[in-house]
Each structure stands twice: as structure tokens, then as C-alpha cells.
Structure 1
């Protein structure tokens, strides 16, 4: 009987080692990349728990299920429990979408946006071609806009609105283009920041992304009034740097469930959430859902209540 028990202990140790890497804080480049797939790792541990029960290895099942629960808690802890509603009578719909610079489905993308009919839209990866097509295709429905193409097509960015845009500016932070300004909804002026952080595929880009978040955090914290901050943040909700961004700015994530957005061609269980619409406490979020349009990202669209003047 000793040999099976020894084998069971060895298996338990093997399973615990990656679990420790999944659960410790994400303060390094390697850990951040590894923990981006925390949701998928949680599913693996959950399935292993079931497998060990079927095979009557209850100690292993217990260890795996404990890891599953701990990872589940880590994933859910930064995500709110319910939508904040009843903030006011005025409503606003917001769409966030990374179009993918190499995507050439211009007409179907524009038609889908018009069909969805959000009040305010933020686009990333706006190449020169995308800039031309978006301005031409959305001009009637969205008379107010700011469009910035870039030599690096993946860094082009744009906002379109059915309502007046005020004090819009293009600012460069950590080598990336951002759009700041206000959107006037009825009698209320709401600050907005549209951004696209670098994809942290290398340590240099990871540092750039972190610097970008720090600059954005400082800007938002020093600005008065209600805020919408939206874009492709290239990180997951449980990343410590994004958690710090939220706590410092006191912004709330519109996401109240996983709502993954990338990569769009993968099945739901193989996607991760990296696109966001954050809002200040004076704005209530009634709903947020992912929307299939085109591109390697799913769009996200939220409905918000404004407290009014």
C-alpha cells in the first residue's frame, strides 16, 4: 500500500507547484504572462478534481478542488458582484472595440456599429485605411469624432460620438497615443480617456504598458468630474497593476462577469478579458456584454445611467 500512497503524494506535489505560481501576486513580467490564463488553469484543476473522484483518489481530488476554489476567488475578487443602477434618468450606451489594423472588413464593421447604435464609440488599431473608412462611414450617424492614425498602425486610435465632444486633445504617454476630452450628454459633461496600452509580449513592452497605466492613473486622479476610461488595456482584471489602477482612481469596472474579449476566434473558454470600460461612481452601469463584430477582439458594449445636473 505504501507505493500508491507515495505516488499520490508525488502527484500532489507536482500539482501544487504550478498552483503556487498561479496564486502569488503578479509583480513580474513572467508571472503576469503566466497568470493571464488563470481562468483556463482554474478549469483544468476543476476537471482534475472530478477525474480523481472518479478514480477514487479523494486526497488528490481534495487538493485539486482547493486549488480550484483559490483560483476562482482570485479571478472573481476584482470583479464586482452586481451592476450599479438607479444613478439617474439619462442613459448612455458605450462601445469599445479594437478593430485590428490588418482587418479589411470595413463595411461590415461600420454597418454593425450603426446597427448597435451606441452613443459613444472608442476604436483601437486604427490604421490610415481604417481612419479613412471610419470617418466616411460614420460621419452621418456620428457627427462628432477625433481620429488619430499612426506610423505604427496598431497604435492608431479614434472616438466617435452622437453627442458633442468638448476639449478633445491628443496626448502621448509612454510612446502611445491617447485621446482625452469630454462628451456632453444632455446637460452633463463627462470626462473620457480612450487608450491602448502596449501588448506586453516582451519585458520592454511590459514596462511600457505599466508606465502607461501609471501616467493614466495620475491624470485621472487629478481630474475632477465624472469619468469614462475605455480601451484595450492588454491585461486581465486580476493583474495587480490593473487592480492598483482601479483602487487609486476609484473607477469601477463595468464587467460583472468574466466577459472575455480576446482572441475572438477562440471558443469562450479559451479567451481572456483585456478590453474595458471603467466608470466613476457617479455613473451607474446597467449592463455590459461582449459583441461579435469583426477583428481578433470581441467588442464590449455597456449601458450607463447618468446622475444628471
Structure 2
């Protein structure tokens, strides 16, 4: 009996020694670290069909920067195998991020210019006058606002209606779901649509002799699985609405999702709408530095509308505003 115990202890000790020796070898340690780094990379790169994966993959840009920094770190340390693994992951994340925001359209035959501003004002933000003055200084032709509380509704109408005589304001019992649009150009067929506790505004802007469709929306922030499902259903409704309307289209608002999310990719491909971004242009949250922000606000346009530029502008909210310059045929 004692001999069996002794044999077992000797074998176990030998296994421990082998494991120790394996870890002492530089190549084996590098292999283990490389395998460890692949696990989060796989979760970041696979399609985001689940609630938790969608939230995780919202931060692909930040993950890409981490893997890029690790590549440089391992090169400095002369661990070239680890540097190679990290660089491949960095490159794949870069492709996934840049793919949906690298396509742009321009129509040189456009005769009418249209400047569009999209801004989530934040319902508890009380910098009404500063916001209105910023909008007037930016001088857009058409503006979409989200999180329009009762106080914001009164302030926006009082401060903008003289310069923007065509407007529609929809208040909501949940002040974070109020929405408004203001325009220098006449409206046609403007309607408010309430969908699962969210407000939407649809209609047409008469630019020259062309009536351009618009849809202004604000999806629920997917902080819970229920709100995530609600946001996905909202996007499905918006997809059906756009596909059932003839003519050129602008869809704008706070979508509460990133450009590389599968639902957003599907929405754009099914509606044939293009993101106005020519670069990342993150918009939220403004209290974070640029590298810790994500792009969740959009101005999407159909192919018959040309996008000349799109920029993010910090005004007063937890969201940056985005303003694009567009070319419309106008006939």
C-alpha cells in the first residue's frame, strides 16, 4: 500500500516538474498567451446576434486600440509571435469597424444643397439658450432633436420658430422619448407615429421642386434585454416604412447602436440607405475622451442624395450633434 502511494506521489511530482519546465520555455509561454488573447477576439469578431454580444461589440474601436498597442508592446519586448497574433486581431477588428462606414455617394448633378443637423439634447439638460444659439450659428436647413421634454419643446419653439417656420414637436409622457423636427423648407404630409412607447416623425421636405422623405426616430437604449428587443423591433418597423415609400429618403436620429451591429447592417442593406460617415465620428458620451466614445447617432441617406461632408459638433449634451451637407436634385 505504501509503495503504491509512493509511486503515485512520484508520478504526480514528475507531472508537476514537466508542467513547470513547459512554462519555463519561452515559446510555450508565448503560445499560451496567444491562445488566451484569441478568446476575447473571437467574441468580438463573431456576428452579434445576442444581447450580451451586442453590448460587448459596441466597443470594438476601443478593443482594436488595445490590440494595436499590445502589438507594439510585444515588438518592443522582441516577442514577435505574440506581436503577430495581436496585429492580426487588430487588423480584423479594423476591417469590421471600417467596412460599414467607408462607403459614400456623391451626386455632382445636385442643384439644391441641404444642411442637416441631428442632435439628442438630453432631457435633463437645462442649457436651452446656449443650445439654441449654437444651432442658429451652425445654420442648418433641417434639424432633428431627441429627448425633447416639455421644457425643451417650449424653448425650441420659442427660440427657433422665427428662423425655422416649419416644425413638428411631439412630446411624450416619458420625457426622454420626446422628439422634434425644424425646417427652413416647407413640410408635406408630416405625421407622428407612436410605436412601443417611442415617438417618430415622418413626412417630406420640399427642397426646390423635390419632396424628400424623412423619418426622425429615437430607439430605446438597449440597457436590458427587453429594451434591446424593443430597439430591434423599432428598426424592423423603420425598415418596412422606408421600403414602402417611393422617392429619396433621409433617416436620422439616435439609433442607440453602432454601425457594425448586425441589425444596423441589415437595416442599411435592406433599405439601401448609406451612412453619411466618412470616418468613425463617435457621438456618445461626450464626457469621455474621443477614444472612449461610440457612434450611435446617424443621418442616413438614399443613393439619389449626395453627401458632401459630415462632422460631429459638441454643443451642450451627453451626445455630440452631427451635421451633414447634402446635394439634392431638387426637381
- TM-score bin (small chain): over 0.9
The number of aligned residues is: 309
The answer to whether residue 315 in structure 2 is matched with residue 298 in structure 1 is no
- Find the residue that maps to 1:154 and give its secondary structure: helix
Q: 1:69 to 1:233 in 2, by over 3 A?
A: same
- Find the residue that maps to 1:78 and give its secondary structure: helix
Contact 1:174–1:211 (8 Å) recurs in 2: no
Question: What residue is the counterpart of 1:9 in the other structure?
Answer: 31
Contact 2:310–2:323 (8 Å) recurs in 1: yes
Write the distance in 1 (CA, Å) between the matches of 2:33 and 2:198: 46
Q: Structure 1, unaligned stretches of length 5 or more? A: none
Contact 1:230–1:277 (8 Å) recurs in 2: yes
Question: What residue is the counterpart of 1:210 in the other structure?
Answer: 232
Write the distance in 2 (CA, Å) between the matches of 1:258 and 1:70: 16
Write the distance in 2 (CA, Å) between the matches of 1:44 and 1:142: 45
Question: What residue is the counterpart of 1:32 in the other structure?
Answer: 54
The answer to whether residue 243 in structure 2 is matched with residue 256 in structure 1 is no
Map of 1:154-303 to 2, 5 A cutoff? 154-303=176-325
- Find the residue that maps to 1:9 and give its secondary structure: helix
- Find the residue that maps to 1:189 and give its secondary structure: strand
Indicate the structure (1 or 2) with the bigger Cα radius of gyration. 2
Question: What residue is the counterpart of 2:16 in the other structure?
Answer: none
| Aligned alpha-carbon RMSD (Å) | 1.0
Write the distance in 1 (CA, Å) between the matches of 2:158 and 2:104: 39
Contact 1:120–1:159 (8 Å) recurs in 2: yes
* Aligned residue among 64, 68, 72 for 2:86: 64
Contact 1:156–1:177 (8 Å) recurs in 2: yes
The answer to whether residue 124 in structure 2 is matched with residue 102 in structure 1 is yes
Contact 2:122–2:147 (8 Å) recurs in 1: yes
Question: What residue is the counterpart of 1:126 in the other structure?
Answer: 148
Q: 1:212 to 1:14 in 2, by over 3 A?
A: same
Contact 1:83–1:287 (8 Å) recurs in 2: no
Q: 1:192 to 1:139 in 2, by over 3 A?
A: same
Contact 1:99–1:125 (8 Å) recurs in 2: yes
Question: What residue is the counterpart of 2:112 in the other structure?
Answer: 90
Write the distance in 2 (CA, Å) between the matches of 1:80 and 1:11: 33
Instruction: Calculate the TM-score normalised by the size of structure 1.
Output: 0.98
Write the distance in 2 (CA, Å) between the matches of 1:107 and 1:298: 17
For residues 151-178 of structure 1, the C-alpha deviation after alignment (integer angstroms, 9 at most, x for no partner) is 1011000000011111110001232110
Q: Which runs of 4+ in 1 moved over 3 A?
A: none
Contact 2:107–2:304 (8 Å) recurs in 1: no
- Find the residue that maps to 2:318 and give its secondary structure: coil
Richer in helix (by share): 2
Contact 1:233–1:275 (8 Å) recurs in 2: yes
Write the distance in 2 (CA, Å) between the matches of 1:221 and 1:135: 32
Instruction: Calculate the TM-score normalised by the size of structure 2.
Output: 0.92
The answer to whether residue 73 in structure 2 is matched with residue 51 in structure 1 is yes
Write the distance in 1 (CA, Å) between the matches of 2:127 and 2:35: 49
Q: Structure 2, unaligned stretches of length 5 or more? A: 1-20
Contact 1:83–1:256 (8 Å) recurs in 2: no
